[in-house]
Amino acid sequence: MRVGVHINQFGAPGGGPELGAELAAAGAAAEAAGVTYRYPGLLAKIATTLDVVSGGRAWPGIGAAWYDREHEGLGVPFPPLAERIERLEETLRICRQMWDPADNGPFEGRYHRLAETLCAPAPVSRPHPEILIGGGGERKMLRLVARYGDACNLFASSPEEVRHKLDVLRGHCEAEDRDYGTILKTLTCSGDAATEGDLDALLADVDGYTGLGVDTVILVPRLGETSGWLERFVALAVERPAELD
């Protein structure tokens, strides 16, 4: 089992002036330890740029959005869930088309129209950057994973619920003629054991998921302590998941 990090809060003890240095330190610490906001075409270009500069290590992660307060605060439209999922599917189709060197467009969708889907430079990853889709909706979100995704991301709610979600995903894969085994299964852990840096408690929490085929556990830090948390906790966590394999 592998360990990842999801930095979803951007704060630093000294406020904004220290944020750049804090994120740089977090990136360095992570290296040492081993979505409605953007138009789909631009999103694909951003992901491609990151893929190129990282030498093919970028994984675009995407979902149907959920934080209505942030959207409203920034003046970004927040349509109903059904529409957000439809827009997500169009975004996934656009990304896949932009990463297809044999198809430079156009793209005509219900919400998005692109005259040209040329992506230059092309991604380093082959056949394209691997897409992680977050969300456990059983009728639509997990179907999108089976159809377009290279990885899924579920919450570590309980081993029983995660087992059920993965069984649903397996059914969608069968319907889509997709090999279930080719999809990376990831789990987000944001409980006290992860945020407080209690490694033994974290390993005990994760132990119930190891028999379900979960490949990667993604940890979430506390606000304002990202780089320090990475250095003293995640580096150790990276070394010990082998105990659970």
Q: Confirm or reject CATH 3.20.20.30 for domain 2-34+38-244, answering yes or no.
A: yes
- Report pLDDT for 209: 86
- Report pLDDT for 114: 96
Give the rounded percent of residues in the chain with a pLDDT score beyond 90: 51
Ramachandran area for residue 197 (φ above 0: left; ψ -120 to 50: alpha; else beta): left
Cα 174 to the chain's mean position, in Å?
A: 23
Six-digit token string for 160: 């029983």
Amino acid identity for residue 86 in this structure: E
Six-digit token string for 229: 């948390």
pLDDT bracket for residue 36 (50, 70, 90): confident
| Nearest one of 192, 87, 148, 102 to 79, comparing CA atoms | 87
pLDDT bracket for residue 129 (50, 70, 90): very high
**Per-residue pLDDT tens over the stretch 45-65:** 989 998 998 899 888 999 999
| pTM score | 0.81
**Per-residue pLDDT tens over the stretch 64-120:** 998 899 889 988 889 999 999 999 999 999 999 999 999 998 999 999 999 999 999
Q: How far apart are CA 65 and CA 16, in angstroms?
A: 25
